C-alpha cells in the first residue's frame, strides 16, 4: 500500500535489504538532538547496530556523540546512505547534494514523500527508498521487531 | 544475504509460519515455550535502551515474552495488521484497547448485538470510568451516523453478532467513523481471520477472544488486539495517544513511532499497567490452534451450514439465524464479508420460551451444555438463562434473541450425528407440548 507518487521499486524489500546489509556510513539529514524525537530514536538504533552515523544539522555541533555537519557537501569522507528527516519540499536539493557526494542510496523516512527528489537521486545512480523507516526496516529484516508482536511479514523455515 | 524478504504468502502458509523462525540457538522447529518471568540484560546500556523503548528488547514477561510474541505476530499477520498485543482473555484485550485511547467523557457508539460479557463490560466502564456509550441496532447505517456526538471517539461492533448473527457492514461503518475522525474497533472472534479480515474493510482495531476458534479446542483463555497502523491518532481527538507521556519522560508515542504508536502504547502502557498478560503456555496452545485454523474453519462452516439448513426444515423450530442461509436477512452482507462461510455459531427459537429451552437442552446427549463457543466439540446453550442472564427482556430483544432462543456452536463431529441428537431434543420438546396440551 504505497502512497501516490511512490513507485513500488522505492519500497522493494530486496532493495531495502541490500542497502541495509551493504551500508556502513549513514548521513542523517535533520537528525534532532532531542532524544524524544523520531530521528533521534532512529539514529540511536542504527548506531547501536554498528552503522557509522553522520548527523547533518546546521544548528548543532555534535549529536549522539558525532560531529554534526551543516550540509551533506561539508562531510569530508564518503557516505553510503543519506537518510532524510526533512519536509518533502527539501528533498530535491538534498537529492542533488547526495548525488554530488557520491552516496549510494537516498532513504526518505515516513511521510517524506518527494517523487521529484526520488527521480533526481535515481537519475544520479542512487538507490531510492521512500516513505519507509530505516530503523523499522532494519528491525524487520535483521533485528528483533518480532519480539514485540509487530508484523514483520517475514516467513522463513531457515535457522 | 541472510534470507529472502517475504513475498505475499497464502493464508494457510502464514497460519503455520508467520511470526516464527526456527530457534537460532537450538534449531527447535516447534515454537519453544519460554516459561520465564524475566531476561538477563547484555549490559547496562542495553537495559537502558530497552526501558527507554530505543531498542526492541525483552525485559519482563508481563510486558513481552518470545512465545507470546510469535502468537501476536501471527494473528497480526493473518489480520493484515501492523502488530498485535496478546492478553489473558478476550475481554482483557478489549478493555486494554479502550483504555489506550479513551478518557472520561469520551463517547462510544456500539452495536447492541454484542456478546453479553462485552455489553456488561462497556456498562461498567460507563459507570466507573465516566464514558458515554450509546447502544444501537447495528443493521441501520443511518443510526450509526445519527448517534455521533462531538465527543464520539470510537465505533464498535462484531463481525458476526452474538447470538443474533447480525453481519456488520464493516466498510459502511468504517466510512462513518473516519468522516468523524473516530476509530472503528471490531470484535471478530466469531469470524476469525480465515473468514473475514475487518482491516481490509477499513477497521482500525480488531480484537479476538482466542479462547474460541483460534485455540479451537477449548483448552485456554486468551485474547488479542491488533491494529492496522493507519489511523491518524494525532488528529487532535486522542490526547492520550498523541500527547507526551509522563510515564516515558514526555515521549509522544504516535508522533515518534508513527504506524506503531498505538501498539507501543497498548503494550508499554496499557498491558504494563493493567497487567493481564497471556501466559507463554497458553500462547503455545493458541499457536497450535492457528496452524490448523484454515482446515478447522472450513469444516466448521460446512457442518454449520448443513445443520442450519436441516433445522430450518424441522417442525417446532423458528428463526434459524444463520447468516449463510438463503432466507437470512444478512445473506447479502454475508456474501460480501464472509464469502468462505458465515461461521459456525448461530441461534434458533423454540416456541414455548424458557421451559422449552430447558427441556431441549436436557434431552441432548452429544452436544455439550456449557458457556463457550468455537470448540472442536459441538456446544449448546440457552442464552436467556446463562450468557445473557444479566440482560433485561428489552435488552434481549435488542440483542436479537428471545426467551426461547437456543445458541449452537457447531463443532467438527460427523454432521449426521449432530442432527440426530438435535432431532432427539426437538422430539422431546414436542412431547412436552403434547403433555401440556393434554
What mean pLDDT is predicted for residues A5-24?
94
The DSSP code for B131 is -
Evaluate if residue B265 carries a pLDDT over 90. Answer: yes
Q: Does A157 touch chain B (CB under 8 A)?
A: yes
CA A131/CA B387 separation, integer angstroms: 47
CA B273/CA A126 separation, integer angstroms: 46
pLDDT tens digit sequence for B180-206: 999 999 999 999 999 999 999 999 999
Q: How many residues are present in chain B?
A: 438
Considering the entire predicted model, what is its pTM?
0.95
CB atoms within 10 A of CB B266: 28
Residues 50 to 109 of A: which have CB under 8 A from any B CB?
A: none
What mean pLDDT is predicted for residues B393-403?
77
Q: Taking CB atoms and an 8 Å limit, are A13 and B69 in contact across chains? A: no
DSSP B304-334: HHHHHHHHHTSTT-B----TTSTT-TTHHHH
- Output the pLDDT for position A138: 97
DSSP A112-124: ---HHHHHHHHHT
CA B301/CA A74 separation, integer angstroms: 66
- Output the pLDDT for position A5: 79
For cell 538504533, the residue is: A45
Cβ-proximal residues to B289 (8 Å cutoff; 6+ apart), any chain: B210, B213, B214, B215, B216, B217
Cβ-proximal residues to B188 (8 Å cutoff; 6+ apart), any chain: B79, B158, B159, B196, B197, B198, B206, B207, B208
CA A80/CA A106 separation, integer angstroms: 9
- Shortest CB distance from A149 goes to which of B23, B83, B250? B83
Task: Identify the helix (H) or strand (E) that includes residue B380.
Answer: strand B379-381
Evaluate if residue B236 carries a pLDDT over 60. Answer: yes
DSSP A5-72: T--GGGG-HHHHHHHHHH--EEEEET--S-TTSHHHHHHHHHHHTTPEEEEE-TT-SEETTEE-BSSG
Q: Taking CB atoms and an 8 Å limit, are A38 and B256 in contact across chains? A: yes
* Among chain A residues, CA nearest to B256: A38
Closest CA to B286 of B414, B191, B192: B192
Distance of CA B95 to the CA centre of its chain: 12
- Output the pLDDT for position B175: 98
pLDDT tens digit sequence for B146-174: 999 999 999 999 999 987 899 999 999 99
- Output the pLDDT for position A61: 97
| Percentage of residues in chain B having pLDDT higher than 70 | 98
Q: What angle do CA B287, B291, B294 make, to 5 degrees?
A: 130
Q: How far is B227 from chain A (nearest CA, A)?
A: 10
Evaluate if residue B3 carries a pLDDT over 70. Answer: no
Q: Does B83 touch chain A (CB under 8 A)?
A: yes
- Output the pLDDT for position B392: 74
ipTM of the assembly? 0.93
What is the average pLDDT score of chain B? 94
Interface test with A, best of B13, B25, B56, B250 (most A CBs within 10 A): B56
Evaluate if residue B384 carries a pLDDT over 90. Answer: no
Q: Taking CB atoms and an 8 Å limit, are A21 and B1 in contact across chains? A: yes
pLDDT tens digit sequence for A104-139: 999 999 999 999 999 999 999 999 999 999 999 999
Q: Taking CB atoms and an 8 Å limit, are B56 and A143 in contact across chains? A: yes
Range from A26-30, B87-91, B380-384, B421-425 carrying the lowest mean pLDDT: B380-384
pLDDT band for B6, please (50, 70, 90 cuts): low
Cβ-contact B234, B259 below 8 angstroms: no
pLDDT band for B1, please (50, 70, 90 cuts): very low
Evaluate if residue B335 carries a pLDDT over 70. Answer: yes
Residues 114 to 153 of A: which have CB under 8 A from any B CB?
A: 133, 136, 139, 141-153
Q: How far is B320 from chain A (nearest CA, A)?
A: 39
What mean pLDDT is predicted for residues B41-70?
95
Closest CA to A44 of A107, A153, A138: A138
pLDDT tens digit sequence for A82-103: 999 999 999 999 999 999 999 9
Give me the long-range contacts of B59-63 (CB less than 8 A, separation at least 24): B61/B34, B61/B36, B61/B37, B61/B277, B61/B280, B62/B271, B62/B272, B62/B275, B62/B277, B63/B267, B63/B268, B63/B271, B63/B272, B63/B277
CA A39/CA B54 separation, integer angstroms: 11
Cβ-contact A61, A118 below 8 angstroms: no
Q: Which residues pair with B318 in a beta bridge?
A: B349
Q: Taking CB atoms and an 8 Å limit, are A154 and B76 in contact across chains? A: no
CA B405/CA B320 separation, integer angstroms: 10
pLDDT tens digit sequence for A24-74: 999 999 999 999 999 999 999 999 999 999 999 999 999 999 999 999 999
- Output the pLDDT for position B324: 95
CB atoms within 10 A of CB B353: 14
Please list every residue in chain A whose beta carbon sits closer than 8 Å to the beta carbon of residue B255.
38
Please list every residue in chain B whose beta carbon sits closer than 8 Å to the beta carbon of residue A48.
49, 54-55
- Output the pLDDT for position B4: 52
Amino acid at each position: 500500500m504505497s502512497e501516490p507518487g511512490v513507485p513500488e521499486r522505492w519500497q522493494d524489500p530486496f532493495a531495502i535489504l541490500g542497502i541495509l546489509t551493504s551500508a556502513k556510513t549513514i548521513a542523517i539529514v535533520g537528525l534532532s538532538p532531542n532524544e524524544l524525537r523520531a530521528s533521534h530514536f532512529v539514529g540511536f538504533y542504527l548506531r547501536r547496530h554498528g552503522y557509522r552515523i553522520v548527523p547533518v544539522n546546521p544548528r548543532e555541533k555534535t549529536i549522539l556523540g558525532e560531529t554534526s555537519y551543516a550540509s551533506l557537501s561539508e562531510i569530508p569522507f564518503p557516505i553510503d546512505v543519506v537518510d532524510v528527516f526533512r519536509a518533502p519540499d527539501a528533498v530535491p536539493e538534498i537529492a542533488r547534494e547526495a548525488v554530488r557526494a557520491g552516496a549510494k542510496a537516498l532513504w526518505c523516512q515516513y511521510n517524506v514523500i518527494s517523487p521529484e527528489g526520488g527521480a533526481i537521486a535515481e537519475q544520479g545512480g542512487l538507490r531510492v527508498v521512500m516513505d519507509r523507516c530505516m530503523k523499522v526496516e532494519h528491525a524487520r529484516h535483521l533485528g528483533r521487531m518480532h519480539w514485540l508482536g509487530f508484523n514483520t511479514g517475514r516467513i522463513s523455515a531457515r535457522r | 544475504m541472510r534470507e529472502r524478504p517475504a513475498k505475499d504468502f497464502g493464508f494457510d502458509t502464514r497460519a503455520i509460519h508467520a511470526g516464527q523462525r526456527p530457534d537460532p540457538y537450538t534449531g527447535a522447529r516447534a515454537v519453544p515455550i519460554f516459561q520465564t518471568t524475566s531476561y538477563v540484560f547484555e549490559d547496562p546500556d542495553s537495559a537502558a535502551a530497552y526501558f527507554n523503548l530505543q531498542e526492541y528488547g525483552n525485559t519482563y514477561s508481563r510486558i513481552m515474552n518470545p512465545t507470546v510474541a510469535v502468537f501476536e505476530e501471527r494473528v497480526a499477520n493473518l489480520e493484515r495488521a501492523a502488530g498485535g498485543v496478546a492478553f489473558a482473555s478476550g475481554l482483557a484485550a478489549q478493555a486494554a484497547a479502550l483504555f489506550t485511547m479513551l478518557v472520561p467523557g469520551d463517547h462510544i457508539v456500539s452495536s447492541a448485538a454484542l456478546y453479553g460479557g462485552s455489553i456488561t463490560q462497556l456498562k461498567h466502564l460507563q459507570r466507573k470510568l465516566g464514558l458515554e456509550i450509546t447502544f444501537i441496532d447495528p443493521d441501520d447505517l443511518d443510526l450509526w451516523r445519527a448517534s455521533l456526538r462531538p465527543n464520539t471517539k470510537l465505533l464498535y461492533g462484531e463481525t458476526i453478532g452474538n447470538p443474533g448473527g447480525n453481519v456488520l457492514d464493516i466498510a459502511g461503518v468504517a466510512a462513518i467513523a473516519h468522516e468523524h475522525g473516530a476509530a472503528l474497533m471490531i470484535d471478530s472472534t466469531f469470524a476469525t481471520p480465515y473468514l473475514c479480515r475487518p482491516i481490509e474493510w477499513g477497521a482500525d482495531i480488531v480484537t479476538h477472544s482466542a479462547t474460541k476458534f483460534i485455540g479451537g479446542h477449548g483448552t485456554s483463555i486468551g485474547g488479542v488486539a491488533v491494529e492496522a497502523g493507519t489511523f491518524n491518532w494525532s488528529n487532535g481527538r486522542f490526547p492520550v495517544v498523541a500527547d507526551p507521556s509522563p510515564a516515558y519522560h514526555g515521549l509522544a508515542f504516535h508522533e515518534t513511532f508513527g504506524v506503531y504508536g498505538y501498539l507501543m502504547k497498548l503494550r508499554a502502557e496499557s498491558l504494563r499497567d493493567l497487567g493481564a498478560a497471556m501466559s507463554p503456555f497458553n500462547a503455545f496452545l493458541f499457536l497450535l490452534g492457528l496452524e490448523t485454523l484454515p482446515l478447522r474453519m472450513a469444516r466448521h462452516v460446512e457442518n454449520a451450514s448443513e445443520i442450519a439448513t436441516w433445522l430450518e426444515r424441522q417442525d417446532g423450530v423458528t428463526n434459524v439465524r444463520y447468516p449463510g442461509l438463503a432466507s437470512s436477512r444478512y445473506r447479502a452482507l454475508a456474501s460480501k464479508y464472509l464469502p468462505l462461510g458465515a461461521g459456525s455459531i448461530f441461534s434458533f427459537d423454540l416456541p414455548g420460551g424458557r421451559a422449552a429451552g430447558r427441556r431441549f437442552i436436557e434431552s441432548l446427549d452429544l452436544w455439550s451444555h456449557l458457556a463457550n463457543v468455537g470448540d472442536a466439540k459441538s456446544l449448546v446453550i440457552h442464552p436467556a438463562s446463562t450468557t445473557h442472564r444479566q440482560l433485561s427482556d428489552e435488552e434481549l430483544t435488542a440483542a436479537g434473541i428471545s426467551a426461547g432462543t437456543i445458541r449452537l456452536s457447531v463443532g467438527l463431529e460427523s454432521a449426521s450425528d449432530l442432527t440426530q441428537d438435535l432431532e432427539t431434543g426437538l422430539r422431546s420438546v414436542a412431547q412436552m407440548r403434547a403433555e401440556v396440551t393434554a
